[in-house]
């Protein structure tokens, strides 16, 4: 929410003090941009913000509009801004690289990309040491699925209903969501029951949901599969924490069927969940392939696939190539992100502030019937809005209004889940302010 708006409406607490003066802005207005965006960027105008802000500057967890008005960013650029907007260390590393050399190709040597790959590999357990850089999460998942199919000489992939894995052919096939009906026909892709403790048929019994994966293998395949792909917390799907016991049980089922376990860490990685650096670590498993994007570059377009040298061989003995994958500027940014997360203890901050925020949001459930569920970990939190806490009927119309006020994202099968994914530098004072805005907005409805 914005500072001025909050003062006008007397929300109850003040937006935390922040010492930054935004630069003067002389560019086009929000209404002018809105009109032109409709003409030239039509796909950007989806059923999202009713009055999108014209954002011209960002500093850490704050954004500034054309009039210099400050907003607390509780969406973090769709969970991409891990260290904070324009973090000075990331800017410095990026600009330095940009001045030296922007781009060559991975066919030549350059220390930026090798240094980053080495630092990234050090964050993984076991043999997960072979890194391929991509430009996005979609490409990372496309590559992971390709590797699994090549390595196993199998075609069948299992993913979970309501998961989101990207917008290219294989990843759209693996994605099983309501809003994502692009009529992509993918042979050999199976969508397993969603182990969703809030709405799923087996509640929190992870092992019962895992049996469905075994059934898919038994009834729908030759008994062997290429792999399984899942997010450890479904992000776009509405911040759904998978039922306890599910991932370890599926891991052993997939291994028995000869498949590779792919952990999609595009949203859950880089310390966002607070308790662990990677989401899979919270489930006590070690995947065969891990995919990354979003928070890896603090906003620069970079993704990665990390796997074992043995599995990576299926690509290294072929000619596999991406023009911008491993771009030097993005690699410099990514490496700086790793250093900042460590230096500023952002993973620990995500845990402490995220747990506090979750507790505060949960306490509002007693006051506001519209809050059906509060879930997630660290700085990956979701608030599901319902018409009635017992019947769980999705509150879709109310959602748009609250989302707009809180500057958060939208998710879930019914589009009724507030997604709270701020930069990891979010403070307790920011959390208090966000909760006040939510409380105030809901009280006025
Ligand atoms: N995987 C997950 C879990 C995601 O949340 C997303 C994007 O939201 C993707 C993959 C696709 O990433 P990108 O939009 O960078 O292609």
Mutate to test the pocket of ligand 1, among 134, 164, 238, 297 (most ligand atoms within 8 A of CB): 164
Establish whether residue 266 lines the binding site of ligand 1, counting it when its CB lies within 6 angstroms of any ligand atom: yes
Q: How many CB atoms lie within 10 A of CB 129?
A: 16
CA distances from 251 to 123, 257, 334 (A): 21, 10, 29
Mutate to test the pocket of ligand 1, among 76, 133, 138, 240 (most ligand atoms within 8 A of CB): 138
pLDDT at 12 > cutoff 60 = no
Mutate to test the pocket of ligand 1, among 293, 300, 376 (most ligand atoms within 8 A of CB): 293
* For ligand 1, atom 1: residue with the closest CA: 165
Which position has the higher pLDDT, 148 or 7? 148
pLDDT band at 46 (very low <50, low <70, confident <90, very high): low
pLDDT band at 47 (very low <50, low <70, confident <90, very high): low
Establish whether residue 301 lines the binding site of ligand 1, counting it when its CB lies within 6 angstroms of any ligand atom: no
* CA–centroid distance, residue 143 to ligand 1 (Å): 13
Q: Give residue-wise pLDDT tens across range 256-297.
A: 999 999 999 999 999 999 999 999 999 999 999 999 999 999
Taking the alpha carbons at both ends of the chain, their separation in whole angstroms is 16
Establish whether residue 190 lines the binding site of ligand 1, counting it when its CB lies within 6 angstroms of any ligand atom: no
pLDDT at 321: 86
pLDDT at 5: 52
Establish whether residue 64 lines the binding site of ligand 1, counting it when its CB lies within 6 angstroms of any ligand atom: no
Measured from the CA of 137, which atom of ligand 1 is nearest? 12
Mean residue pLDDT across the chain: 94
With a CB cutoff of 8 Å and minimum separation 6, the contacts of 41 are: none
* CA–centroid distance, residue 223 to ligand 1 (Å): 30
Q: How many CB atoms lie within 10 A of CB 435?
A: 20
Q: Are 72 and 1 in contact (CB under 8 A)?
A: yes
Question: d(Cα 309, Cα 136) in Å, to the nearest integer?
Answer: 22
pLDDT at 45: 62
Q: Give residue-wise pLDDT tens across range 84-139.
A: 999 999 999 999 999 999 998 888 999 999 999 999 999 999 999 999 999 999 99
Establish whether residue 231 lines the binding site of ligand 1, counting it when its CB lies within 6 angstroms of any ligand atom: yes
pTM value > 0.80: yes
pLDDT at 180: 62
CB-count burial class (<10 Å; 0-12, 13-18, 19+) for 119: middle
Q: Are 75 and 85 in contact (CB under 8 A)?
A: no
Q: Give residue-wise pLDDT tens across range 350-396.
A: 999 999 999 999 999 999 999 999 999 999 999 999 999 999 999 99
pLDDT at 184 > cutoff 80 = no
The interface predicted TM-score (ipTM) is: 0.99
pLDDT at 8 > cutoff 50 = no
pLDDT band at 2 (very low <50, low <70, confident <90, very high): low
Q: Give residue-wise pLDDT tens across range 219-264.
A: 999 999 999 999 999 999 999 999 999 999 999 999 999 999 999 9
CA distances from 405 to 4, 6, 74 (A): 12, 10, 11
Establish whether residue 164 lines the binding site of ligand 1, counting it when its CB lies within 6 angstroms of any ligand atom: yes
pLDDT at 178 > cutoff 80 = no
Q: How many CB atoms lie within 10 A of CB 76?
A: 29
* CA–centroid distance, residue 140 to ligand 1 (Å): 9
* CA–centroid distance, residue 416 to ligand 1 (Å): 19
Establish whether residue 165 lines the binding site of ligand 1, counting it when its CB lies within 6 angstroms of any ligand atom: yes
């Amino acid at each position: 929410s914005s500072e001025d708006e909050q003062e006008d409406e007397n929300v109850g607490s003040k937006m935390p003090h922040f010492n930054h003066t935004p630069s003067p802005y002389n560019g086009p207005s929000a209404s002018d941009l809105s009109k032109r965006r409709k003409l030239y960027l039509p796909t950007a105008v989806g059923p999202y913000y009713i009055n999108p802000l014209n954002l011209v500057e960002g500093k850490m967890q704050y954004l500034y509009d054309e009039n210099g008005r400050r907003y607390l960013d509780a969406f973090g650029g769709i969970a991409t801004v891990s260290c904070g907007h324009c973090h000075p260390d990331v800017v410095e590393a990026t600009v330095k690289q940009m001045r030296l050399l922007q781009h060559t190709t991975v066919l030549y040597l350059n220390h930026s990309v090798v240094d980053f790959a080495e630092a990234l590999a050090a964050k993984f357990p076991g043999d997960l040491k072979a890194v391929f850089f991509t430009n996005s999460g979609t490409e990372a998942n496309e590559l992971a699925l390709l590797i699994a199919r090549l390595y196993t000489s199998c075609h069948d992939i299992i993913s979970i209903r309501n998961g989101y894995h990207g917008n290219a052919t294989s990843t759209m096939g693996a994605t099983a969501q309501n809003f994502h009906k692009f009529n992509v026909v993918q042979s050999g892709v199976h969508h397993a029951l969603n182990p969703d403790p809030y709405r799923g048929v087996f509640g929190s019994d992870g092992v019962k949901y895992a049996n469905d994966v075994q059934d898919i293998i038994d009834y729908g395949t030759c008994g062997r599969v290429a792999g399984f792909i899942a997010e450890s917390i479904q992000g776009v799907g509405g911040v759904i924490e998978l039922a306890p016991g599910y991932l370890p049980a599926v891991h052993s089922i997939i291994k028995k069927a000869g498949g590779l376990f792919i952990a999609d860490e595009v949203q859950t990685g880089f310390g966002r969940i607070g308790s662990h650096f990677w989401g899979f670590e919270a489930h006590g498993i070690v995947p065969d392939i891990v995919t990354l994007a979003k928070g890896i570059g603090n906003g620069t377009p970079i993704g990665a696939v990390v796997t074992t040298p043995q599995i990576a061989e299926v690509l290294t003995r072929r000619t596999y190539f991406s023009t911008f994958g491993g771009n030097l500027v993005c690699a410099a940014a990514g490496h700086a992100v790793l250093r900042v997360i460590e230096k500023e203890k952002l993973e620990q901050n995500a845990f402490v502030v995220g747990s506090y925020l979750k507790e505060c949001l949960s306490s509002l459930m007693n006051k506001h019937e519209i809050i059906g569920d509060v879930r997630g970990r660290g700085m990956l939190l979701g608030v599901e809005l319902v018409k009635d806490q017992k019947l769980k009927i999705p509150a879709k119309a109310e959602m748009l209004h609250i989302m707009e006020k809180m500057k958060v994202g939208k998710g879930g099968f019914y589009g009724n889940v507030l997604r709270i994914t701020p930069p990891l530098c979010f403070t307790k004072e920011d959390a208090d302010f966000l909760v006040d805005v939510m409380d105030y907005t809901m009280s006025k409805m």
